[in-house]
């Protein structure tokens, strides 16, 4: 758990670094507010002015499409100014420390930082150094935490199923290296999920003691049997040697979600994937684009959830 207090004295959200330890009522309030910011498919995007006069800096030191763009759109759609800092083009490359970069931006009246970094300690470090009125939001930290992804995954399940408590949810693939798996499980657990399964080859299973309460399965078909939600994870090709698992073709042969394998889950099971997807590695295109897929909903909901989070930390 992050050692940084995320709540202000009045119980409102100041930072969002992790979902671990957040009160269920606060998570539910964020998701309820995200309902307000989401619109039916095809409708014009919702907009507001709650963050007029506020400035959000989006500073990503790792690649991103969904999280970076959706934070940027979310902030603009509720009236904030946005500064996007391309870390690879910033003075960090000339040796400036992350704290000096943050202090520099604070001098320009930035009110919130959205940070992604391979070093999972960076968002906490920044949160301990910013001025009392400034907020820090994690956009993904190492393999440890990706809180807004966890919220948007829970939001997507609630939107489609209307509940979480009695669902069987399988998280499949490279669980070991996945910040998404950790944060989504935390969101599901906070909302009362009773049956969360980790389904992975031995080399991609997290250490014993992590994910308390989850069952562990070492075969795809039995692991997703009768599940309501099948959440596939990106197989991180760069980790394959380290994890001593086979190459992409072998992985797909044993662990790829095909239409035939998906039949083991419930007929109305949702197929989720946080993206970016490796088609033909962890998921077949016919499943990713098929009728049970809610992958595009996840992306769409990411904007609404991030509007709710930004409004919560900066709106008052």
**Residue 135: how many other CB atoms lie within 10 Å:** 24
Q: Does 104 bind ligand CP (CB under 6 A)?
A: no
Residue that is written with structure tokens 């904030």 in the block? 80
> Of 65, 88, 97, 128, which lies in the binding site for ligand CP, with binding defined by CB under 6 A?
65
Angstrom distance (rounded) from CA 127 to CA 137: 9
Contact 49, 75 (CB under 8 A): no
Q: Does 123 bind ligand CP (CB under 6 A)?
A: no
Q: Does 88 bind ligand CP (CB under 6 A)?
A: no
Q: Which residue lies nearer to ligand CP by CB, 201 or 275?
A: 275
**CB-based contacts of 247: which residues, under 8 Å, 6+ apart?**
240
Considering only residues 147 to 176 of the shown chain, the ones binding ligand CP according to CB under 6 A are 149
> Of 4, 7, 28, 64, which lies in the binding site for ligand CP, with binding defined by CB under 6 A?
64
Q: Does 66 bind ligand CP (CB under 6 A)?
A: yes
Shortest distance, position 149 Cβ to ligand CP, whole Å:
5
> Of 67, 135, 168, 236, which lies in the binding site for ligand CP, with binding defined by CB under 6 A?
67
Among the listed ranges 61-69, 79-87, 222-230, 244-252, the one in contact with ligand CP (CB under 6 A) is 61-69
Strand partners, 127: none
Among the listed ranges 3-11, 106-114, 225-233, 268-276, the one in contact with ligand CP (CB under 6 A) is 268-276
Angstrom distance (rounded) from CA 52 to CA 254: 51
> Of 123, 140, 147, 223, which lies in the binding site for ligand CP, with binding defined by CB under 6 A?
140
Q: Which residue lies nearer to ligand CP by CB, 115 or 217?
A: 115
* Cα–Cα–Cα angle for 27, 30, 31, rounded to 5 degrees: 85
Among the listed ranges 64-72, 120-128, 164-172, 214-222, the one in contact with ligand CP (CB under 6 A) is 64-72
Q: Does 18 bind ligand CP (CB under 6 A)?
A: no
Extended beta strands in 151-211, E state: 168-172, 195-199
Tokens describing residue 73: 């759109």
Strand partners, 197: 170, 215
Q: Which residue lies nearer to ligand CP by CB, 217 or 307?
A: 307
Angstrom distance (rounded) from CA 14 to CA 23: 14
**Antiparallel, parallel or unpaired: β 135-141 and 215-217:** unpaired
The helix/strand/coil state of 172 is strand
Among the listed ranges 27-35, 59-67, 206-214, 250-258, the one in contact with ligand CP (CB under 6 A) is 59-67
Q: Does 276 bind ligand CP (CB under 6 A)?
A: yes
Q: Does 274 bind ligand CP (CB under 6 A)?
A: yes
Shortest distance, position 314 Cβ to ligand CP, whole Å:
21
Angstrom distance (rounded) from CA 123 to CA 310: 16
**Residue 198: how many other CB atoms lie within 10 Å:** 23
What is the contact surface with ligand CP in residues (CB under 6 A)? 64-68, 140, 149, 274-276
């Amino acid at each position: 758990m992050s050692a940084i207090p995320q709540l202000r004295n009045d119980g409102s959200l100041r930072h969002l670094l992790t979902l671990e330890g957040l009160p269920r009522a606060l998570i539910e309030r964020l998701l309820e507010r995200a309902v307000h910011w989401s619109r039916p498919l095809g409708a014009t995007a919702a907009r507001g002015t709650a963050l007029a006069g506020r400035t959000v800096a989006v500073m990503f030191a790792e690649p991103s499409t969904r999280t970076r763009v959706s934070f940027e759109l979310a902030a603009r759609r509720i009236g904030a100014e946005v500064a996007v800092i391309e870390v690879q083009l910033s003075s960090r490359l000339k040796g400036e420390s992350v704290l000096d970069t943050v202090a520099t931006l604070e001098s320009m009246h930035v009110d919130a930082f959205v940070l992604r970094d391979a070093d999972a300690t960076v968002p906490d470090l920044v949160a301990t150094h910013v001025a009392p009125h400034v907020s820090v939001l994690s956009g993904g930290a190492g393999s440890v935490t990706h809180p807004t992804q966890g919220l948007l995954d829970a939001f997507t399940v609630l939107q489609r199923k209307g509940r979480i408590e009695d669902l069987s949810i399988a998280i499949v693939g490279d669980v070991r290296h996945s910040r998404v798996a950790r944060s989504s499980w935390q969101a599901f657990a906070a909302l009362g999920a009773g049956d969360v399964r980790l389904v992975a080859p031995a080399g991609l299973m997290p250490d014993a003691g992590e994910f308390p309460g989850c069952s562990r399965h070492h075969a795809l078909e039995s692991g997703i049997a009768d599940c309501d939600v099948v959440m596939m994870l990106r197989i991180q090709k760069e980790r394959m040697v380290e994890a001593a698992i086979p190459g992409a073709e072998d992985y797909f042969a044993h662990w790829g979600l095909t239409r035939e394998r998906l039949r083991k889950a419930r007929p109305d099971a949702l197929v989720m994937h946080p993206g970016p997807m490796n088609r033909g590695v962890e998921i077949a295109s016919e499943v990713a684009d098929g009728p049970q897929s809610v992958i595009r909903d996840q992306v769409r909901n990411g904007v609404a959830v991030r509007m709710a989070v930004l409004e919560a930390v900066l709106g008052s």
